[in-house]
Chain A
Amino acid sequence: MNGKRKVIESYLRRLRLALGTLPVEERQEICRELESHLDERAGESDTALQSCLAELGEPETYARAFHDDYELSVALASGSTARLFAQSLRLAGRSIWAAAGFLFFLSLFAISGGLMAVAMIKPFFPQQVGLWLPTSGGFIFGFVDTTSIAGVQEIMGWWFIPVALVSGFVLWILASRLLEKFVASLRKPRDDG
């Protein structure tokens, strides 16, 4: 029993360390509950504790499930776009779905930020910022090289500023809402098959 006790204590010590970023109270609860579980399993038979520890895996790996869920719930509760975005980046390395989502939101925020940025530099470069519809087709939008718009009339004038600002802002809000839904969808129980 003494040997088992040592094994349990060493596992719990490593787990406690691995759970480092969780609030103290939560860390203690998790360890105390697992200690109770391990003790009970150790009392069953000589091999029960070994097979239990094998199922749990390394404490560092086991801790990750608690850690992930905690980080996600904090980000979701805060409603902070930056935190949610950071979570999708963190999980992007773990699954293709999270990585695809991260890239999608990265482009949405980039477009939205870009819209608001060009709106704000329009007063300083009125000739180079705007919307052009060349006769050759398509459109040229944003902050451009004047040679590419030679002979073409800008069509928005000063309306460019409110239109770009509002659409950038609306896109930002939409992307933030969507990001929240996406991060919530990442919050799934770990599946070890």
Chain B
Amino acid sequence: MNLDVWKAQLRKGAAELAVLALLESRESYGLAILRVLIDQRGLAISEGTIYPLLNRLRREGKIDSRWVEDEGASHPRKYYFLTDEGRWLLAAMKTVWGDLSSNLNALIAGENHER
């Protein structure tokens, strides 16, 4: 299997989880979300993909938004926050991710061990 294809598929799901997780503790706006997530090189989040992603999550009812006039900002910023549905979904996604990654990590570690 082509490694790039596999990586792209992995990233898509992870990007959504990352955004939802980031919004769990507090609401945030596009550029601030981007600044945190752009350093996570494993995720496919860039300046070109962040707003389409946020837009899709909002359309799917997982997040909602409001315009806020921050002090010192030249323009109002669009802040996103989790909806009840998004919060519920995030909890479920965390469980799935936790199980999957711990099982996989154990498996990978075990294989290395035998060699």
Contacts and interface: CB of A to CB of B under 8 A. Distances in A.
Query: Majority SS of interface residues in chain A?
Result: helix
B10 to A, nearest CB: 10
Nearest to B16: A189
Contact of A189 (B4, B30, B52): B52
Range, interface on chain A: 20 to 34
A39 B15 contact: no
B49 A189 contact: yes
A191 B55 contact: no
Contact of A33 (B4, B30, B44, B49): B30
B74 A55 contact: no
Given A30-B55, A189-B15, A191-B12, A40 B78 contact: no
B53 A34 contact: no
B52 A55 contact: no
B11 interface: yes
B89 interface: no
B12 A39 contact: no
Contacts of A41: 31
Interface residues of B, number: 27
B52 A65 contact: yes
Given A40-B31, A187-B56, A62 B75 contact: no
Contact of B76 (A36, A55, A70): A36
Given A191-B8, A193-B44, A40 B49 contact: no
Nearest to A77: B59
A62 B49 CA distance: 9
B55 A36 contact: no
B56 to A, nearest CB: 5
Interface in A50-91: 52, 55-57, 62, 65-66, 69-70, 73
Contacts of B48: 55-57, 62, 190, 192
14 contacts: A40-B31, A40-B75, A57-B48, A62-B48, A66-B51, A69-B52, A69-B56, A188-B12, A189-B12, A189-B16, A190-B49, A191-B8, A191-B44, A192-B49
